[in-house]
Amino acid sequence: MSRKKKPILTASPPAPIDLNPRTDPPLDFPDRELDAMRPADYAELGFLCGLEVHQQLLTEGKLFCRCRAGQRSSRVDMEVLRHMRPTLSEMGEYDGTALMEFKTRKDVVYQIDRTTVCTYEIDDTPPFPIDSQSVRIALEISRLFGLNLVSELHVMRKQYLDGSIPTGFQRTALVGLGGVLPFQGSELGEREIRIRQLSIEEDSCREVSDLGHRVVFRPDRLGTPLVETVTEPDLLTPLDVARGGRLIADVARASGKVRRGSGAARQDVNVSIAGSRRVELKGVPHHRGLPLLVHNEAFRHLNLLRIRVELLRRGVEPVALAFDPAYSALESPLVLDAASIARTASYRPVRAAIDRGDAVWAVRMIGFAGLLAHRTQTGRTFAHEIAERVRVIACLTTTPFLINSDEHELVGGTWSELRKALRADGGDAIVLVWGPEADVDTAACEILIRGADALVGVPSETRQPHADGTTGFERILPGPERMYPDTDMPAIPVQDEWIEEIEVRLAEHPWEREDRYVRMGLSARAARVLGGARWAFLFDAMEPSTPACARRTAAALEKRLVHWWRESGTGELPAAERLAPLARAVDEGRVRAEAFERAFDRLLREPDATPAAIVSDFAASDHDAADFERAVSELERDAPAARHGDEALLHWAMGRVMPVFLGRLDPASVRARLHDALKCEEPV
Amino acid sequence: MSDADDFPGYREPTLSILRRFDTPVWSDIRAHTTRGLFEGLILPRAETADEAHISLKLVSGYNVGLRHDTIESIEKVGYRPADYRVPEEEFPFDPDKPRVILFGTGGTIASRLDYRTGAVIPAFSPGELYGSVPELADVCNLVTEKLFGVFSENIDAGHWKILAERCGQAIEDGYQGIVIGHGTDTMHHTAAALTYMVADSPIPIVLVGSQRSSDRPSSDAAQSLINASSVAAHGDIAEVLVCMFGPTSERYNLLHRGTRVRKMHSSFRSTFRTLGDVPLAMIEKGKIDPIKHDYVRRDPTRTPDVQPYFEDKTTLLYYYPNMQPDILHALIDNGYKGIILAGTGLGHVNSIQFEALERARDEGVQVYMTLQTLWGFVQMYVYETGREILERGVVPLANMLPEVAYVKLGWALGRWPNEPEKVREFMTTPVHSDMTAGEPVEGYLVFQGGVPEVQDFLKTIWS
């Protein structure tokens, strides 16, 4: 066996900021479902959660080039292939994530639609000056969060070696830090959320596929400006995580300058419990699923901490799983080329692997017997933690690619033969892994690393949210080492005039807006919906002044716009000038409020008719009374002979009359008059 | 009290503030400002940045600037100087591998970032190189020597001469190949200069650079270094070569002859192109696939002829409509001995230059014609103007690239200062394909994007 030397690049240890302040995990706390938990239970767990909310800005152009922002395309004109290598931070350290991505040795492919990108996005042209519209929006949103603004923006490079950005780093700049947001909606009563910081950055590529050593991205979205708002870990229950996320999104939206819609707002959620450290759930696209995700993650932490304690009880030490990363994993006495032993096993996937010429190695995990089958999440065991890490880093794709002695039977005494060959005893677990040799080497190393990490308890990771509320390993959590200054961009001083201008016309906070809507006569529910809706600006521009008109306006916007969008196929907001005359007419009593919706619908659907003409169709006039009396006479004449009760008759009559007099006459008095005219006997 | 070295990059008014609070660079501080509390590490200030702000690294890794007039007070809570080093590991020696010497001249290849100046500085010892591109150890036994640390634009004939002499020395020392790390802007000038200065090299001399410095994860430096080292160690082409990215994709490098290559884009990775010919070879993961076969083979028995000369009074004049003849007169007045014209079309300048050209001829200033079209041949017989220019002693240089002609003329004038006929003879004799007998039909490929057939081609080729 050749002692082939591999490059070793070592990463720095996790930052203390990532550790949960409490070190005493409540190991005896029973695993419970989300709906069986009370806020006090999460307090007992030491549950802490912080959010990083990403929201795209509503700008014309991208942040560092002049391509149009907010594009999405599946057209492929050409492809570009790249590879990523880790580089040192200015502090002289490698970032752990960067090293992990380097180990994966992936081909990174960019599929390019030539109409959505220029040479900046494929990293063949240096950045153009930063989009100043984006900077001003970010400053404005920072002020909405009450942040202290920096006086000079330094564009930084945040390393991303997964290929999601062709440069290998995201350009980002800190705009503000240290703010406090009132959190009225908390289930723990009135509280605050501290905002750590807000930065402006370029959005990354969309991932198309990630299979084995090939990951494919589309750079249409790349470079779209976004703000990232980071909270302190102030969210203490799963429900509050969702509510806090909504609040933060709403504050930024209050500026009216962030994009909405799918993919426009995504959040990373940082979770820890007592005794664990920060784990980041990456890119959760909506708030609805957040509670279950963070709940499950909290119990994953608890289970990993239980495994840790059991390993410590068994006297397992990290050194027992140590190996020299400079050499092939086979150099370690814990790893064995198991092809000849496994050949005798009747397990089909292993036999198939041997037939393909794959390497089949066995790894001895000292002291892990039984623990690979330990539950971590719903339907998941600790062995999954290992398998996921191997899949991602070693790029093993043909499933299954590993089995373990805790969970799998192998006929023919294979496990005991492997035990013998590895000098393992009953207290050890064995993992059998197969695939291309280079990948299996990486896999064996990762199995040992994940084993050693079990003694830490919860490794710092970035995890992917799954639809069922569980999470899967995505990458090692990056640290501050991944940030280094962008020498392509000069520092950008924040002009005092910009700030003054922003302060003068600063948008209302969502809660201020809601309060205002309540004062205008809306219900609390209607005010909340309207406050967070993108048509809130339209409501304000229509300027309803009486409570009745305000309620009708809010209701019509909430309910009727959707119908119109569905029919017309657009999602656009109508012009305020078109709708405002209706609100004015209702406020002034020229049109009765009941006619609002009907008139509103016609204003949307009859673009050729002037608003004045449509509104006047519903306006009261001098001859309404005479017209109505004529209509009543006609009804008396046409009334059906057979009566099925007064109510049915009145219903019929109202149906005849009201459409004609909608907006002009009070429906109650119309009904009373008809009641008399049709000689109804039941009281009105 | 601290001295100025403790405050690198800082000027007034920030310098006094940092002095007043005794917080030199690398101090961990808490700054109380009119815009709130900022905690972090004071960084050196980039020399190109303004004097009004202090650079601070926050615990999140972000840097921000604090404006001097927002600062109320600064508390020093610690001191943490950065130790910025590429991890250095001994470059492994393998007796079975060829010995290659890598000369550093100061380009962005094999470099790291100086965070104070924002400049890229060479990471250059073999250990540092092994630390950042460990694959090099699979290729050869690498020895490095830093000759100078200058940016491409500051490379001059003095540097060419030193490089030529060091190449001669390295050949004498028995190295199997030479790699020269060079800034890309003038790499093709240096490649041409070495072609003339180091004749009959028995081994490959490979110039390599990078369009994205190696402090970037997407850098082209590693692939190009690995491929250039492979060409130097194992390649059979004993000429001066440029080894740079073929396509912008990280797939293969192209080997260009030092006399036919030119940088054609300011920032693309695939910036170097062979003009008027096809490249010599492709090289992917160390495997060389020749495209042309008329190259000079490696031959350890051959003795190099190193002639480090250059006449500084040589120039390259790019013609443009309305050019006034006083420029040519000024060159003659200033003692210029050789002028390369980059003329329009087939090799033309306007007729108001004729008198000055006659004066140049009469005063022994050698004038040659090349083309600003870059592709194609000088053909001065087709039009009347061409014939008139020829009559005034201007010598056409076929399809020699203007920059190559400039270097060749400077070298020849330096080599034979008192033998104009020798210079003229050398200038009109093809050397390493600096002029070719003809142009292969695929020697001129400048496709136009957007044309459907080109888009189809790109779709196939770029995937």
Band (pLDDT 50/70/90 cuts) for residue B318 is very high
Question: Quick one: pLDDT at residue B89?
Answer: 67
Backbone angles phi, psi at A144, to 5 degrees: -60, -30
- The answer to whether residues B175 and B320 belong to one domain is no
Residue at which a domain ends, from B264, B288, B306? B306
Please tell me the predicted confidence (pLDDT) of residue B463. Answer: 56
% of chain B at pLDDT higher than 70: 92
Instruction: Compute the average pLDDT of residues B26-30.
Output: 94
* Residues A478-509 pLDDT 10s: 766 678 888 888 899 998 999 999 999 899 99
Q: For the ranges A94-108, A147-161, B208-222, B345-359, which has the lowest average pLDDT?
A: A94-108
**A27-44 average pLDDT score:** 95
Please indicate whether residue B184 is annotated as part of the active site.
yes
Q: Let me know: does A120 contact A47? Beta carbons within 8 Å.
A: no
- pLDDT at B117 (0 to 100): 42
Residue B146 appears among annotated catalytic residues: no
On whether residue B233 sits in a domain, the answer given is yes
* In the predicted structure, residue A229 carries a pLDDT above the cut 50: yes
- b/e for A168-192, b at 16 or more Cβ within 10 A? bbbbbbbbbbbbebebebbeeeebe
**Containing H/E element for B65?**
strand B63-67
- pLDDT surpassing 80 at residue A183: yes
Q: Which two tokens stand for residue A311?
A: 């390993």
> Which of A304, A282, A294, A275 has the alpha carbon at shortest distance from A19?
A275
Catalytic-labelled residue, pool B263, B274, B277, B370: B263
Cβ distance A485 to B63 less than 8 Å, yes or no, reads: yes
E strand or H helix that includes residue A267: strand A265-272
Is a pLDDT exceeding 90 seen at residue A382? yes
| Statement to judge: residues B302 and B319 lie in one domain | no
Residues B294 and B337 in one domain: no
- The answer, for B55 touching chain A at a CB cutoff of 8 Å, is yes
Same domain, B113 and B49: no
- Tell me what ipTM this predicted complex has: 0.89
**B64 Cα to chain A: minimum distance (Å):** 5
pLDDT of residue B119: 46
Cβ-nearest to A77 among B37, B92, B455: B455
**If you search the block for the tokens 């509103």, which residue do you land on?**
A600
> Which residues of chain B neighbour A6 with C-beta distances below 8 Å?
134
Residue A16's CB: how many other CB atoms inside 10 A? 8
CA angle B125, B131, B134 (to 5 degrees): 110
- Contact (CB, 8 A) for A600 and A564: no
CA A488/CA A46 separation, integer angstroms:
43
Residues B180 and B268 in one domain: yes
Q: Is residue B61 included in any domain, yes or no? A: yes
- Do B104 and B238 lie in one domain? The reply is yes
Interface contact B250-A174, CB threshold 8 A? no
The verdict on whether B337 is a catalytic residue reads no
Least Cα distance to B218 among A650, A81, A611 occurs for A81
CATH of the domain at B399: 3.40.50.40
Where is the domain boundary, B262, B280, B306? B306
pLDDT of residue B444 exceeding 90: yes
What is the residue-averaged pLDDT of chain A?
A: 89
| Predicted local confidence at residue A549, as pLDDT | 94
Is the model's pLDDT at B120 over the cut of 60? no
pLDDT greater than 50 at residue A10: no
- Reported as a pLDDT band with limits 50, 70 and 90, residue A171 is very high
3-state secondary structure A119-179: CCCCCCCCCCCCCHHHHHHHHHHHHHCCCEECCEECCEEEECCCCCCCCCEEEEEEEEEEE
Is residue B39 located within the same domain as residue B72?
yes
Which residues of chain A neighbour B463 with C-beta distances below 8 Å? Answer: 78-79
Cα-only R_g, chain A: 32
pLDDT tens by residue, B329-349: 999 999 999 999 999 999 999
For residue range B162-199, what is the model confidence (pLDDT) as tens digits? 999 999 999 999 999 999 999 899 999 999 999 999 99
Question: Does residue A352 or residue B318 have the better pLDDT?
Answer: B318
- Reduce the DSSP state of residue A215 to 3 states and report it: strand
Give the confidence band of B312 by pLDDT, cuts at 50, 70, 90: very high
Residues B321 and B395 in one domain: yes
Residue listed under structure tokens 């390295």: B170
CB A301 within 8 A of CB A273: yes
Rounded to an integer, what is the distance from CA B303 to the centroid of its chain? 27
Q: Where are the beta strands (DSSP E) in B82-239?
A: 99-104, 111-113, 120-122, 141-146, 177-181, 198-199, 205-208
pLDDT at B23: 95
Nearest CA in chain A to B63: A154
- Least CB–CB distance from A82: residue in B58, B64, B218: B218
Q: Would residue B33 show up in a list of annotated catalytic residues for this protein?
A: no
- Chain segment A571-612, per-residue pLDDT in tens: 888 999 999 999 999 999 899 888 899 999 999 999 999 999
> Measured between CB atoms, does A153 come within 8 Å of chain B?
yes
Q: Is the pLDDT of residue B145 over 90?
A: no
Q: Check whether B143 has a pLDDT greater than 80.
A: yes
Chain A hits for B64, Cβ within 8 Å? 150-154, 174
According to the model, what pLDDT value does residue A477 have?
Answer: 78
pLDDT on residue A3: 47
Residues B147 and B275 in one domain: yes
Structure tokens belonging to residue B272: 């170097």
- HSE, side-chain direction, 13 A CA sphere, residue A322: 6
Residue B91 domain-assigned? no
Q: Does A532 have pLDDT greater than 50?
A: yes
- B449, with CB counted inside 10 A (0-12, 13-18, 19+), is exposed
pLDDT at B395: 96
Q: What is the secondary structure of B203-228 as a DSSP string? A: S-EEEE--SS-TTSTT-SHHHHHHHH
Over the stretch A54-77, which tens digit does the pLDDT of each residue have?
A: 999 999 999 999 999 988 899 999
pLDDT at A1: 36
Q: Stretch B129-139: mean pLDDT, rounded?
A: 80
Which residues, other chains included, contact A679 with Cβ-Cβ below 8 Å and sequence gap of 6+? none
Kindly report the number of other CB atoms within 10 A of residue A682's CB atom: 9
E strands, B308-380, in order: 314-318, 338-343, 366-371
Same domain for B330 and B256: no
- Please indicate, yes or no, if residue B375 is contained in any of the structural domains: yes
Q: Identify the domain containing residue B366 by its residue range.
A: 314-427
Report the run of H or E that residue B403 belongs to, with start and end: helix B402-415
Quick check: B82 pLDDT over 80? no
pLDDT of residue A97: 57
Q: How far is B144 from chain A (nearest CA, A)?
A: 20
Q: How many CB atoms lie within 10 A of CB A575?
A: 12
Residue in A160, A265, A268 with CA at minimum distance from that of residue A207 = A160
- Residue B252 has what pLDDT? 96
Q: Is A53 touching B (CB cutoff 8 A)?
A: no
367-406 of B, contacting A, C-beta below 8 A? none
Among the candidates B306, B328, B343, a domain finishes at B306
Residue B451 within any structural domain of the chain: no
Whether residue B276 is found in the same domain as residue B348: no
Say if residue A11's pLDDT is above 50: no
Per residue in A306-340, pLDDT tens?
999 999 999 998 888 888 877 889 999 999 999 98
CATH of the domain at B41: 2.30.30.520
Alpha-helical segments (H) within A520-595: 524-532, 536-542, 547-568, 576-587
Q: Give the nearest chain A residue to B48 (CA atoms).
A: A490
B274 lies in a domain?
A: yes
**Residues 89 to 128 of A: which have CB under 8 A from any B CB?**
89-92, 98, 114, 119, 122-126
Average pLDDT over residues B57-77: 93
Separation in Å, CA B252 to CA A434, B132, B232, B265, B282: 31, 20, 16, 18, 7
Please give the C-alpha separations between residue B350 and each of B299, B323, B384, in angstroms, as whole numbers: 48, 8, 11
CA distance A569 to A563: 10
Note the pTM of the prediction, 2 decimals: 0.87
> A271 near A72, Cβ under 8 Å?
no
Structure tokens belonging to residue A502 = 């922003």
Cβ <8 Å between A90 and B223: no
Whether residue B70 and residue A151 make contact (CB cut-off 8 A), yes or no, is yes
pLDDT at B92: 81
| Closest CB from B57, B59, B118 relative to A17 | B59
Residue A9 is predicted with a pLDDT of: 46
Q: Give the count of domains, chain B.
A: 3
Report the CATH number at residue B297: 3.40.50.1170
Q: Is residue B115 part of a domain?
A: yes
Is B215 close to A484, i.e. CB distance below 8 A? yes
The answer as to whether B69 is a domain residue is yes
Q: What's the gap in Å between the CA of B157 and the closest CA on chain A?
A: 30
Q: Report the SS3 class of residue A226.
A: strand
B18, two tokens: 């940092």
Q: Which residue has the higher pLDDT, B104 or A3?
A: B104
Q: How much is the mean pLDDT over chain B?
A: 91
CA angle A454, A455, A457 (to 5 degrees): 65
Q: Are B104 and B110 in contact (CB under 8 A)?
A: yes
| pLDDT for B410 | 98
Q: Indicate if B268 and B357 belong to the same structural domain.
A: no
Distances (CA, A) of A10 to A323, A478, A526, B92, B365: 14, 14, 56, 19, 62
Residue in B closest to A156 by C-alpha: B62
What average pLDDT does the segment B353-366 reach? Answer: 96
**What is the count of residue pairs from A and B with beta carbons less than 8 Å apart?**
180
Under 8 Å between Cβ of B243 and B227: yes
**C-alpha A12 chain-centroid distance:** 29
pLDDT tens digits along A254-278: 998 999 877 778 999 999 999 999 9
Q: What is the pLDDT of residue B351?
A: 93
Are the Cβ atoms of A483 and B219 closer than 8 angstroms? no
Contacts of A124 in chain B (CB under 8 A): 248, 265, 267-269
